[in-house]
A and B are shown apart, each in its own frame.
Chain A
Amino acid sequence: MPNHPVPVPSSVLAALKNKTIHLSAAKMIHSLFLVNASGDIFLEKHWKSVVSRSVCDYFFEALERATEPENVPPVIPTPHHYLINVLRHRIYFVAVIQSEVPPLFVIEFLHRVVDTFQDYFGVCTEAAIKDNVVVVYELLEEMLDNGFPLATESNILKELIKPPTILRTVVNTITGSTNVGEQLPTGQLSVVPWRRTGVKYTNNEAYFDVIEEIDAIIDKSGSTITAEIQGVIDACVKLTGMPDLTLSFMNPRLLDDVSFHPCVRFKRWEAERILSFIPPDGNFRLLSYHVSSQNLVAIPVYVKHNISFREGSSQGRFELTLGPKQTMGKAVESVLVSSQLPRGVLNANLNPSQGTYTFDPVTKLLSWDVGKINPQKLPSLKGSMSLQAGASKPDENPTINIQFKIQQLAISGLKVNRLDMYGEKYKPFKGIKYMTKAGKFQVRT
């Protein structure tokens, strides 16, 4: 047993113990509760003194009031605390704070926590969290010190706490060794805090995915009300040592509004429109951008629709045809159409020319998995809907949400010019991939 460092007379000790500990307004995140879809608290973590879980009652109240799970207000004031929550993967992450703090600070942090879990466990579900409760706890301990973010960079965390893998799990059980890094990490102390030191690979490779999502609202007549492109460049970089990369575009002017991973050098971009950076190890999002000027945005699909209800009849007509529009010669794949039909609709009896459809009579959600669009034979979905007998015709118009993918195409026309590496001698394998997806793509009827 270690020696008592400061001998204190027991009387003093007793006196001090009785003194109430003053808790001044403590900042930032005080506690975190994880609540599952059925309203059970399945994990709690406190960074300062313990806050009773009864504080969550206020959250449950709000949860009850909300008609939809996503309608719970992100910030809930209670008499002594404020609850800030985010909903991800059907889990509510409820942070308890005691005083003024920028709400986005907390929200952004909670999302970072979720991202980290996802990164560690592949999925962020209640089961995964419970199965890895110790790792979760260790992570939370490292990510927040006294309620203030400490290490949130996944590269650093992985040095501190190794993510579980099948192999390691087996080895650990046999040898009794641990998930905690044996060597203390140095990344946090270096000038490039996002990168581990001493990275080694036999195959050096760097892959970049340019992924663009089209957000659009198309009105009844088929004209575009608003359309914009949200693009990201996700990277998977596995390079030895400390490589310094530059990535240049053929048409950088296209990028309207950009946000970067902290590794990107701002000034260089400002001056030369070149991305210059020392990459983190592994997967990361290099940048996200926005192309908003409307005339630039090509709409790859069109929809012909005829959804109508007749007054007095308990039947409604439903017709939907999809076709490719501006696709630059590429195929439109993985098309999925979904629509929330009016409450009055009892059932739908439809006939798809390709793919399968489902209609949930409870939620009134119609979804049609189309697959690939064949320009020669356009996919269509036709049939009738049955309405509640005697009910008058619903006056709402359902909106049609469309998802699709187009491989090998960045719809904005963005092109990567070249990727160069400095600082290391070897020749890396480089790859770049383009993809266009539908983001929030809605057609009003």
Chain B
Amino acid sequence: MSASSAFSDEKGGSASEPEYGHDPASGGIFSSDYKRHDDLKEMLDSNKDSLKLEAMKRIVAMIARGKNASDLFPAVVKNVACKNIEVKKLVYVYLVRYAEEQQDLALLSISTFQRGLKDPNQLIRASALRVLSSIRVTIIVPIMMLAIKEAASDMSPYVRKTAAHAIPKLHSLDPEQKDQLIEVIEKLLADKTTLVAGSVVMAFEEVCPDRIDLIHKNYRKLCNLLIDVEEWGQVVIINMLTRYARTQFLNPNINESLLEENSEKAFYASDDEEEEDKKAEPATLAKRKPYVMDPDHRLLLRNTKPLLQSRNAAVVMAVAQLYFHLAPKAEVGIIAKALVRLMRSHSEVQYVVLQNVATMSIKRRGMFEPYLKSFYIRSTDPTQIKVLKLEVLTNLANETNISTILREFQTYIKSMDKDFVAASIQAIGRCATNIGEVRDTCLNGLVQLLSNRDELVVAESVVVIKKLLQMQPEQHSDIIKHMAKLIDNIQVPMARASILWLIGEYCEHVPKIAPDVLRKMAKSFTNEEDIVKLQIINLAAKLYLTNSKQSKLLTQYVLNLAKYDQNYDIRDRARFIRQLIVPTDKSGALSKYAKKLFLALKPAPVLESPFKDRDHFQLGSLSHLLNAKAAGYQELPNWPESAPDPSVRNVEIPDWSKCSSRKDRKEKKVEKPFYSDSEGESGPTESADSESDSGSGSASASGSDESGSGSESEESGEETESDEEEEDEEEEKKKRKKLDKTKAKKQAEESAESEQSSSAEDRKRGRKAVKNQKSASESESESESSESEEESEEESEEESESDTNVRKKRTPVLKQPPKQSKKESKKETQEMSLLDLDDYEPAPASASVTPVNFLSSSLVSDLEGLSLTDTILAPTTLAPSGSIKMYELLHRIKGEGLAVEYCFSRQPFSPEPNMVAVQIQFTNNTNSETKNLHIEDPRLQSGMRIREFAEIDVLAAGESVTVVMGIDFCDSTQAANFQLCTHTRKFFVSIQPPVGELMTPAFLTENDFKKEQGKLMGMNEILEKLTLGEKCVNEHVIVERVTATANLSRVPCGSDKECRFAGKTVSSGCLVLVTVTTKEGGGAQLTVNCEKMLIGTMLVKDILQALSQ
């Protein structure tokens, strides 16, 4: 790739500079030496970027080595606004590191970041937010909060991602902001871009992991997006969804838990490969209610499965634990292969994976059995890996494979790694206890090890043999004898203690040897380790009780030695035992039972895996690895007894509704149903791989949440009323619920919207059959409205919609008495849809009367649209107002005779209300006809969408034709690039909207205007002074200029010194408020209030230019 060592002298030319990084230990160059720091300060104060950069580099090198550079703070912070990007970056690094210590000074830099937050470049906005939120200074909490909120509704998903990242930062700085932050999280959770998903879930996990209710509405979306989220986000989301699923779904293994082990074995022996149909096991379970998996549960399992093939071990592990905790037993098997693959990775990865495999292999042994050989140990493995592999091998051992495993173990015992040998011996012991058939073989093998030259090996063997013998002592007195002989040679205390215990315990089997051993031990008592001493006392006591004749004196002697031992445990023990076994007059009733106490039959030890029951920790977690609860660990909940209501995950309310105000929404509810089918696919979030599956319930679900546009329509009907009447909304909700239930029953493949849309269309055709439709209120409202306009013959659906749209907009201006409509709505729910009609009726008549609209060119054209008879795809010709500017898309010469011009018609684009309508005029200047004019290959910024015009089959020579296409610019002035194709050629073209065209007029009253303006203060307000151009003599001209620049409508105003305009952005419906206040002598002040600062900034620029001409 890149050449290596040669760039070690990055600053090679400047020989005078010391090489930072040269010697880690010699901080002397910089630290303590204050002259050096003066030097740096000087460099930072200089005008040369290169000097500054050099200084910053050296400072960063100091920080990297952990040297204190805090005294340079004032000198560094000055450079925060430096033009040079690298200097700036390094200053950021410095700031983040030291701001906490130098809070007063740090505040000086804040305004730079605040300015950065308004920058038109999304990356600058993002980085400003990143640094601002990383400065841990409590005093800027409110600024941070504001910035985060702002960024959360930024049009760039990248900035929104940064906002999500900033949330935990602010939370750790000031936990009191939690509630507000949760609101932001809620909003971001609704975001549909993959870029944001991972980060916001991370914020969720950190700030409010218990607010599982926030996930409901986003559950299906998260499942569907998962595959396209970046890998780190995937891990976080999967872990969160595991917890979620544990609270919301039923245990898929609920039926099996009764049968437990025996059936499990049989089951796994036959098949543990992936099985798509997991119907509960037959016959035996017949009495239990059959378990049916929630389709959402299935959705999660299905969508995570491909991630087992991720290159990222953390992702694979996350999916593996999800399957382990959530999947039906029959399906868990598929994770084994992926986990085994991970074992090829770095040893740290292996270590963690093996820990988890060890836990899993206890519960689901069958799963890993086919991969037994992958756990064989290589001499080059690090010891900790070897030990873990042994653990897994031991867990996997059963009657069928034990012989191979034992053969492996035999090689391990000869290894040079003694710790590993010791572990192997223990493993053999465990196999022997678990599998009765091989107990004798193992025991014999271990006894052979007793003659091993390595003491550690012998010692470990003794300990294991002791445990084994305890299970069946009678048959093995010769082994005990053999071990008694070993006591002379073995020095390892644990082993000596074990032998002594064995002899004491089974002294009846070796009556001749035992007293002799005690004799030897009494001799060496004082030199023994404590555990050995205790066992000597034990042995003495037991011998005293069984064979007092031979051992009485010895016992006395040992107890006397112990009495004066340094260790109080031993002294205590001696005293206690003496009281028990040596009968004196004072000795209590207990001594009678001494024999029973000492020589009771002791249960054989159970050799258990240290990994047993570790699975109560979520696998793959830190807590599981450490087998202790780590700070911040979220307990994996138990399955619920009965499933919570699954309908909470149904998505009805469109996501954007949470962010924009009610009024904004009104603008959007143009009738989707007609198009919803195709929109579902064109949605920006639609991932390439996650096709909506044909699985019954989930299909409709995924459809409905992906095509947010579709679901918008669902509520569009009722939304119109709900503004005014709360009660209606209530009723509407009930109705909606009913609708859902019927939906669920049907379990049809089509999504709900498409159903409705098709029915709506049907009804259009058969106009009169409308009223008996109960299910879809909104589509009724449409058909109703179309009915009402029967006077305009042959009206297309689209046309009628654009009318309703216009009318809806007007209603607030007209100030329809709300009471009237209220009454009506109460009469019957059915008629609610009629409400719209009521509102519309007077509209066209009074529109011309209202003084507000008199200049709005867009309105004029809207009105024009009312009487239009053509479909919208054939040309909505422009209103005759000359103010609309034509732009060139393709020049006649470049286009080889085809000239293309476009303009922003300022008409609402009816198929999709959040698109800007672009009217395109093709003129064929050649002498031959041009065919198949259409658009291809749009290259768009993420989030942007295009709705192409219908292909123009033939354009005759000399003719021209006009079409309309829609572009969702996402409220940005980024150009939409695409190819314009004819039957012979392709032309690259792009359309870039002036900011003023990104909005549509909004009609507000003076009061509303003031209210909204009040909400958009602070960073959302931009003030600018200007001198009016010569021609801007009166109000009329000003209004004309402003409305020509931006698609705004005028708001009535009492004062003639002030002109107010209002609009909202097309895509997200944010309010844009413009005020021009004129002063004496040609001066004026322009105020723009807009939540989207970027739009505001650009709009100010444009209007300024228009007014000062």
Binding site for B on A (CB under 8 A): 1-6, 8, 12-13, 16-17, 19, 21-28, 40-46, 48-50, 53, 67-68, 70-71, 73-75, 77, 82, 85-88, 97-105, 107-109, 111, 119-123, 127-134, 136-138, 141, 145-146, 148-150, 152, 163-166, 168-170, 172-174, 176, 178-182, 184-185, 188-191, 193, 215, 217, 219, 225-226, 228, 230, 256-262, 265-267, 270, 282-283, 285, 288, 290, 292, 294, 340, 342-343, 392, 395-399, 401, 440, 442, 444
Contact with A along B222-242 (1 / 0, CB 8 A): 000001001110010001000
Query: Once bound together, how far apart are the Cα atoms of A129 and B4, in whole Å?
Result: 11
User: 15 A–B contact pairs at CB < 8 A?
Assistant: A2-B112, A12-B139, A27-B205, A44-B64, A70-B347, A99-B633, A100-B630, A100-B634, A102-B317, A121-B7, A127-B5, A134-B60, A184-B123, A267-B306, A290-B341
B633 touches A100 (CB 8 A): yes
Across the interface, which residues of A come within 8 angstroms of B454, CB to CB?
A: 395
Given contacts A27-B205, A146-B168, contact A288 B311 (CB under 8 A): yes
Known A102-B314, A395-B452; contact A53-B66, beta-carbon cutoff 8 A: yes
- Quick one: given A98-B631, A134-B61, A257-B338, are A108 and B452 in contact (CB under 8 Å)? no
Which residues of A have CB within 8 Å of B262? none
Q: Flag if B57 contacts A8 (CB, 8 Å).
A: no
Asked if A189 contacts B452 (CB within 8 A), the reply is no
Asked if A131 and B8 sit within 8 Å, CB to CB, the answer is yes
A324 to B206, CA, bound (A): 58
Contact B60 A133 (CB under 8 A): yes
Residue of B nearest to A264 (CB): B309
User: B309–A260 contact, CB under 8 A?
Assistant: yes
Known: A123-B4, A130-B24, A132-B7. A4 touches B111 (CB 8 A): yes
Instruction: Tell me which of B78-86, B794-802, B1039-1047 binds A.
Output: B78-86
Q: Which of B353, B620, B622 has the most CB atoms of chain A within a 10 A radius of its CB?
A: B622
B513: Cβ under 8 A from any A Cβ:
no
Q: Name which residue of chain A comes closest to B173, CB basis.
A: A21
A253, B193: Cα distance in complex, Å: 35
Q: Which residues of B contact A134 (CB under 8 A)?
A: 10, 57, 60-61, 90
Interface contact B453-A133, CB-CB below 8 Å: no
Q: How far, in whole Å, are A292 and B340 apart by their CA atoms in the complex?
A: 11
Is B232's CB under 8 angstroms from A75's CB? no
Q: A5-B111, A100-B623 are in contact. Are A22 and B634 (CB under 8 A)?
A: no
CB <8 Å contact, A86 and B348: yes
Residue from the list B9, B97, B337 in contact with A46, Cβ < 8 A: B97
Q: Identify the stretch in B372-380, B757-765, B1077-1085 within 8 Å (CB) of chain A at 4 or more residues.
A: B372-380
Residues in B with CB closer than 8 Å to A111 are 346, 348-349
Q: Provided the pairs A164-B7, A217-B376, A340-B379 are in contact, do residues A82 and B622 lie with their beta carbons within 8 angstroms?
A: yes
List A contacts of B340 (CB < 8 A). Answer: 257
Please tell me which one of the listed residues A12, A40, A259 contacts residue B24 in the complex, with CB atoms under 8 A apart: A40
Given contacts A2-B108, A105-B314, A107-B313, 6 further A-B pairs with CB under 8 A are: A100-B622, A141-B92, A165-B2, A189-B942, A267-B691, A440-B380
Asked whether any CB of chain A lies closer than 8 Å to the CB of B869, the reply is no
Contacts of B688 in A (CB 8 A): 265, 267
Residue of B with least CB distance to A107: B348
B138 touches A21 (CB 8 A): yes
* A26 in contact with B311 (CB, 8 Å): no
Is A27's CB under 8 angstroms from B2's CB? no
CA distance A69 to B405 in the complex (A): 29
**Which of chain A's residues have a CB closer than 8 A to the CB of B57?**
134
Known pairs A86-B346, A184-B121; A174 contacts B64 (CB<8 A): no
> Could you tell me the distance between the alpha carbons of A256 and B337 in the complex, rounded to whole angstroms?
9
- In the complex, the chain A residue whose C-beta lies closest to that of B140 is A6
Instruction: Flag if B374 contacts A228 (CB, 8 Å).
Output: yes
What number of B residues sit within 8 Å (CB to CB) of A?
147
- Whether the Cβ atoms of B7 and A166 lie closer than 8 Å is yes
Q: Are B2 and A266 in contact (CB under 8 A)?
A: no
A35 to chain B: closest CB distance in Å? 11
**B residues in contact with A169, CB < 8 Å:** 6-7, 9-10, 12
The answer on a CB contact under 8 Å between B7 and A444 is no
A228 to B316, alpha carbons, bound, how many Å? Answer: 21
Q: Do A178 and B349 have beta carbons less than 8 Å apart? A: no
**Cβ contact within 8 Å between B130 and A145:** yes
By a CB distance below 8 angstroms, the chain A residues around B162 are 145
Report whether B64 and A104 are in contact in the complex, using a CB–CB cutoff of 8 Å: no
Which A residues are CB-close (under 8 A) to B1033? none
Q: Taking the nearest CB of chain B, how far is it from the CB of A218, in angstroms?
A: 11
Give Cα distance in the complex from A122 to B6, angstroms. 10
With contacts A86-B346, A122-B1 taken as known, whether A133 is within 8 angstroms of B311 at the C-beta atoms is: no
A102 proximity list for chain B (CB < 8 A): 235, 239, 314, 317-318, 620-622
List B contacts of A145 (CB < 8 A): 130, 134, 162, 165
B445 at interface, CB cutoff 8 A: no
Q: Are A49 and B136 in contact (CB under 8 A)?
A: yes
Across the two chains, which residue of chain B brings its CB closest to A34? B64
Which chain A residues lie closer than 8 Å to B139 at the CB level? 8, 12-13, 16-17
Closest to B691 in A: A267
Known contacts: A71-B383, A132-B7, A217-B378. The answer to whether A77 contacts B205 by CB under 8 A is no
- Give the distance to chain B from A112, nearest Cβ to Cβ, in Å: 9
Given A70-B382, A128-B5: A178 in contact with B84 (beta carbons within 8 A)? yes
State which of B136, B166, B349, B378 has its C-beta within 8 Å of the C-beta of A108.
Answer: B349
Interfacial chain B residues near A340, Cβ < 8 Å: 379, 416
**A43–chain B nearest beta-carbon distance, Å:** 5
Residue from A12, A21, A185, A392 within 8 A of B453 (CB atoms): A392
Neighbouring A residues of B594 by C-beta, 8 Å? none
Interface centre among B86, B92, B93, B195 (most CB of A within 10 A): B86
In the complex, the 4 A-B pairs of residues with the closest C-beta atoms, listed nearest first: A176-B50, A122-B4, A99-B632, A130-B21
How far, in Å, is B351 (CB) from chain A's closest CB?
A: 5
Residues of the A chain whose Cβ atoms lie less than 8 Å from the Cβ of B49 = 176
Q: Looking across the interface, which residue of chain B has its beta carbon closest to that of A260?
A: B309
> Are the CB atoms of A27 and B202 closer together than 8 Å?
yes
Question: B8: which of A13, A127, A141, A173 is its contact (CB, 8 Å)?
Answer: A127
Given A6-B143, A102-B235, A1:B108 Cβ within 8 A: yes
- Asked if B411 and A191 make an inter-chain contact with CB atoms under 8 angstroms apart, the answer reads no
Give the Cβ gap from A419 to chain B, nearest Cβ, in Å: 21
The distance in angstroms between the C-alpha atoms of A260 and B380, with both chains bound, is: 28
Least CB distance, A187 to chain B, in whole angstroms = 11
Choose among A4, A133, A188, A257 the residue that contacts B341 (Cβ–Cβ < 8 A): A257
CB within 8 Å for A176 and B53 given contacts A27-B206, A68-B383, A169-B10: yes
Q: Which residues of A contact B1 (CB under 8 A)?
A: 119, 122, 163, 282-283
Please, how many angstroms separate the alpha-carbon atoms of A182 and B49 in the complex?
14
One of B99-107, B808-816, B988-996 at the interface: B99-107
Q: Which residue of B lies closest to A126 (CB)?
A: B24
Q: Which B residues touch A226, using CB under 8 A? A: 373-374, 376
Most chain-B Cβ atoms within 10 A of its Cβ — which of A19, A130, A261?
Answer: A130
Residues of B within 8 A of A173 (CB): 10-14
Interface presence of B609 (CB below 8 A): no
Knowing A22-B174, A99-B630, A225-B376, say if A120 contacts B2 (CB, 8 Å).
yes
CB-CB < 8 A to B311: which residues of A?
Answer: 259-262, 285, 288
Q: Which of A128, A189, A217, A265 contacts B158 (CB 8 A)?
A: A189
CB neighbours of B110 from chain A (8 A): 5-6
Question: Assuming A102-B239, A257-B338, is B20 touching A133 (CB within 8 A)?
Answer: yes
CB closest chain-B residue, reference A182: B85
